[in-house]
């Protein structure tokens, strides 16, 4: 597959690289790849749904229960709770509150027709109107079926914004955007079909995270940024940052004695799969949480050093490192803000709840929910910050110093150009 679409392909061909460090770099990446493949093989889920639940997989609902989707005919928020059933509306099996307030009249079509389902006040006040679609729970009863509210059908809205996202990415980033989308899809597939099932079957959280993250980063970085020593340097920096994050995360989890169950979903999962090690799962989450920002800073640092070498070929390695770190420090500051505010956004409701409590802030910081977010933020931020000088140093070593310090590139008897003899060729 060619890479002529890479906008900065010329930089990779113009920059002279040191053969020795480049070979060491590629050898190290090869070892990491082999280790990741070994991890994928060893911890690949068996596919047995009884691995954690015992006799059979946990069913989402009882036998006979279905989840039909219908169209809202009417949203009723004010009505006579003593009134009778509306004419032509199927209220079979519904409780009295379904004819109170608030409730929805939903057309399920077919023989069922229209049914009334009670909804929480916040659902009725969320902006629902006639024509919107909702999912209901149809439960068999002695008299027929009972219908209760399940959730809003958001498929069309999600599809619309996903399509808009794809269009915007492709329109602005073009080929880079396309390959980024493919990398994102691959990453999602690894998480869904490897990481999650492996964790459910009791595989070690950090091991699964390292194997899955390494596989994801190999595909994402090379797919998005092309095969080059510049990308390889960024990949090496990313993998080192991931390893540091995993190690620091383990230390933090053990010292903070975090149990890994701070939300309702964790309690449900503990009931369904009591054999899970939730502290190990939290360690896996720490590693995966840092992938995106690590990838961002490492590719930026590697590209910065390559660009600096292209415009200043006589600069020493120390000079390259110093110049690259000036760029890196600015990037560190902005990325840390991104991490912190991203976590604040996800934990906003919890923070508001604690705001209501009449307890000092320093006492609330040690609660399981806040402590998890604080540890996650600090550990990923430390890994991010350390990845910047590591990647910058690797890039400065690989591209070499000023002319006397750079090893001679491969040349043929006819005297090929440096671009043609690159130790890490880019196929056309």
Domain boundary assignment for the chain: 9-45+173-405, 69-153
Alpha carbon distance 348, 342 (integer Å): 10
Neighbour order of strands in the sheet with 103-107: 114-118, 103-107, 69-76, 133-141, 144-152
Please give the backbone phi and psi of residue 255, each rounded to the nearest 5 degrees, phi first.
Answer: -75, -35
Share the mean pLDDT of the chain: 81
Q: C-alpha distances in angstroms, 359 versus 11, 216, 258, 346?
A: 57, 43, 21, 22
Q: Which of residues 198 and 293 earns the better pLDDT score? A: 198
Alpha carbon distance 65, 137 (integer Å): 7
> Is 24 exposed, middle or buried, given 0-12, 13-18 or 19+ CB atoms closer than 10 A?
middle
Cβ contact 365:371 at 8 Å: yes
The pLDDT of residue 82: 47
Q: What is the pLDDT of residues 171-230, one digit of tens each?
A: 999 988 999 899 999 999 999 999 999 998 889 999 999 999 999 999 999 998 888 999
* Bridge partner residues of 148 (DSSP): 137
The pLDDT of residue 351: 80
Enumerate the H helices of 226-316 as residue ranges: 229-256, 264-272, 278-289, 291-311
Q: What is the pLDDT of residues 24-34, one digit of tens each?
A: 999 999 999 99
Alpha carbon distance 134, 149 (integer Å): 8
Cβ contact 70:137 at 8 Å: no
Judged by DSSP in three states, 279 sits in helix
Q: Which residues contact 353 (CB under 8 A, 6 or more apart)?
A: none
């Amino acid at each position: 597959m060619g890479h002529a679409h890479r906008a900065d392909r010329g930089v990779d061909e113009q920059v002279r690289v040191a053969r020795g460090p480049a070979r060491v770099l590629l050898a190290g990446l090869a070892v990491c790849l082999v280790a990741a493949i070994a991890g994928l093989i060893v911890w690949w889920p068996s596919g047995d749904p009884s691995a954690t639940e015992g006799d059979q997989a946990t069913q989402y609902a009882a036998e006979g229960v279905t989840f039909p989707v219908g169209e809202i005919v009417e949203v009723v928020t004010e009505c006579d709770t003593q009134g009778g059933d509306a004419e032509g509306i199927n209220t079979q099996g519904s409780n009295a509150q379904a004819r109170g307030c608030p409730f929805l009249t939903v057309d399920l079509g077919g023989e069922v027709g229209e049914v009334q389902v009670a909804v929480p006040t916040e659902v009725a006040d969320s902006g629902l109107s006639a024509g919107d679609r909702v999912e209901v729970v149809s439960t068999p009863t002695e008299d027929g079926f009972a219908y209760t509210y399940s959730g809003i059908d958001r498929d069309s809205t999600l599809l619309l914004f996903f399509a808009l996202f794809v269009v915007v990415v492709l329109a602005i980033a073009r080929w880079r955007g396309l390959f980024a989308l493919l990398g994102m899809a691959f990453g999602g597939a690894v998480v869904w079909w490897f990481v999650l099932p492996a964790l459910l079957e009791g595989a070690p959280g950090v091991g699964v995270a390292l194997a899955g993250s390494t596989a994801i980063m190999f595909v994402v970085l090379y797919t998005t940024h092309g095969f080059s020593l510049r990308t390889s340097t960024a990949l090496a920096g990313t993998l080192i940052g991931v390893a540091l994050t995993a190690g620091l995360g383990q230390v933090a989890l053990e010292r903070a004695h975090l149990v890994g169950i701070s939300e309702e979903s964790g309690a449900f999962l503990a009931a369904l799969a009591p054999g899970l090690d939730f502290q190990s799962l939290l360690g896996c989450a720490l590693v995966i949480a840092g992938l995106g920002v690590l990838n961002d800073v490492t590719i930026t640092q590697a590209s910065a050093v390559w660009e600096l070498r292209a415009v200043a070929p006589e600069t020493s390695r120390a000079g390259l490192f110093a110049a690259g770190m000036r760029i890196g420090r600015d990037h560190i500051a902005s990325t840390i803000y991104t991490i912190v505010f991203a976590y604040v956004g996800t934990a906003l409701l919890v923070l508001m709840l604690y705001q209501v409590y009449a307890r000092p802030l320093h006492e609330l910081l040690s609660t399981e929910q806040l402590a998890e977010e604080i540890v996650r933020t600090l550990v990923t931020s430390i890994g991010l910050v350390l990845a910047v000088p590591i990647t910058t140093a690797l890039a400065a070593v690989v591209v070499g110093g000023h002319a006397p310090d750079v090893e001679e590139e491969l040349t043929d008897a006819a005297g090929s150009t440096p671009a043609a003899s690159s130790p890490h060729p880019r196929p056309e």
